[in-house]
Amino acid sequence: MNCPKCGTKIEEGSLYCTACGEDIHIVPDFESEVEQSMQDTLEQIAEELQDTAGKTETRKDPPKLKKSYMGWIIGIFFLVIIILTGVLVGAWYHMEHSVEYQLSRAAQCVGAQKYEQAAEYYLRAKELGSRDPETGFALADCYYAMDNVGGYESQLLELIDSGLLDQKQLERAYAGLIQSYRTRNDYQTIDSLLNSCDNETIRSSYQNLQAKAPEFGFEEGYYQEIIPLKLSSNTAGTIYYTMDGSEPDENSTVYTAPIFLDNGEYTVKAVFVNQYGLVSDVVTKKYRIEIQIPIAPDVETVSGEYSSPTMIRVNCEEGEAVYYTMDGTVPTEKSTRYTGPIPMPLGNSNYSFAIIEEDGIVGEVTQRSYSLQLRTDISLDMATVTVYSEMLRIGRIQNPEGYAGENGIYQYQFQYPMTVEEEDYYIFAELHVDESGGSIRTGSYYAVQAYNCTCYKLVADEYNNYSIAEIP
């Protein structure tokens, strides 16, 4: 290359002429389109110069004038080249460094369904500093149209991690990403994605796709009461658990109802498997239960043989709930509750008494055995006949079977012997029987004297004090 000013040869790479000091301007490379445009322009100028030179040769100008004219033409030529090159380079530079131009060209390519070229323009816009999330979404759409699943998912993940999305855009990104995973049944990746998401709105929207570890109704630790341990999950699926220290899986016990933990030490392990087969982390809880069992109730009436009506009494503290059975079994909350002295039944009987707390804990049991035989010649059968005979006499019934006409049927059921006003009686309750055979107590009670077989009406006041009344 020669210096444009003095013509001295300049070494390659030098930025100025060593002879005259003239600065050397190196024209940068540009796109093939620009180069072609410059080539066409140069060829056109060359043709015009040839035409001008041809015309000039036909003239018979003085040599000095021709030389001056050619100098001007060459100067103008180089000036045009420099200006044109600067314009083209400037245009090229502007296009290469303009986000708006890249986005505009990308939109044109999308309209023409040239998604690969559009993706390149969107990538270039991002390189130039575009932080608009919509650029990222548009790029993801291009990958989707190109069936580039990896590019599509990577771009959405990049948007989620960018921190630039508002709530609606964040929901849009998660929706597209999760749908892509679901298309190929990749629920494990969905579970991992949602577990790492700190946006509760999004997590709750897709909770059916997660496999959260089961939740325990009680924290592990020491308790002095029975624990009804409940296990729960966030969505549809199955909870499996073990209590022997082994790891739970789909072959373990299925949780269906609360697990009652009473006295002892327990290690409960549970895992949740959702409807898509996703398996949660295993949760382990340890419990130590030491229940304070209520002491046995104080039954005042001791076991033994009795020959006169006797009341069975239990000494209860205020607030204690004592229950009892008459067949020797351990009482439960479904047994009869003790509310006051109990008339001892005829013959042999076995009672069991226990305090039962509100949480269902059954205390120690007190057992009593009794044998009551009245010292009389009047048997229970004789007393029963006496009651029916008295009811026939007063017209309460119309036959010994208890038929009472339109009033149906009355029956008289023996309850227990009782001492009333210092005399012993057989006590009977009156029952009314309906057409279906069901019976209900009428509230009337009758007493047959245990030694002379006389029948009376048994009357109780508001304080449950009993007395004997004549039957009219």
Q: What is the pLDDT of residues 307-356, one digit of tens each?
A: 999 999 999 988 899 999 999 899 999 999 999 999 999 999 999 999 99
For β-strands 347-356 and 259-261, DSSP reports them as unpaired
Residues near 237 by beta carbon (within 8 Å), at least 6 away in sequence? 211, 272, 273, 274, 275
Lowest mean pLDDT among 68-82, 120-134, 332-346, 419-433: 68-82
**Average pLDDT over every residue of 274-278:** 86
Instruction: Please state, rounded to an integer, the average pLDDT across all residues of the chain.
Output: 85
Asked if pLDDT for residue 372 goes beyond 50, the answer is yes
pTM beyond 0.75: no
**Angle between the N-to-C axes of helices 187-195 and 167-183, in degrees from 0 to 180, rounded to the nearest 10:** 160
Predicted local distance difference test score (pLDDT) of residue 36? 54
- When pLDDT is cut at 50, 70 and 90, the band that residue 40 belongs to is low
Q: What are phi and psi of 297, to 5 degrees?
A: -65, 155
Bigger pLDDT: 168 vs 57: 168
Asked if pLDDT for residue 254 goes beyond 80, the answer is yes
Bigger pLDDT: 69 vs 106: 106
Predicted local distance difference test score (pLDDT) of residue 443? 93
Predicted local distance difference test score (pLDDT) of residue 205? 86
- When pLDDT is cut at 50, 70 and 90, the band that residue 26 belongs to is very low
- When pLDDT is cut at 50, 70 and 90, the band that residue 41 belongs to is low
Bigger pLDDT: 470 vs 405: 470
In contact, 427 and 311? CB cutoff 8 Å: no
Bigger pLDDT: 259 vs 262: 259
Predicted local distance difference test score (pLDDT) of residue 43? 56
**Average pLDDT over every residue of 203-229:** 89
pLDDT in tens, 411-451: 999 999 999 999 999 999 999 998 888 899 999 999 999 99
- Reported in sequence order, the residue ranges of 202-246 that DSSP labels E, i.e. its strands, are 215-216, 221-223, 227-229, 231-232, 237-242
Of 53-62, 157-166, 379-388, where does the model show the most confidence?
379-388
Of 78-82, 252-256, 406-410, where does the model show the most confidence?
252-256
- Reported in sequence order, the residue ranges of 321-438 that DSSP labels E, i.e. its strands, are 322-325, 336-337, 342-343, 347-356, 362-372, 409-420, 423-433
Asked if pLDDT for residue 53 goes beyond 60, the answer is no
Task: Report residue 192 as tokens.
Answer: 């991992």
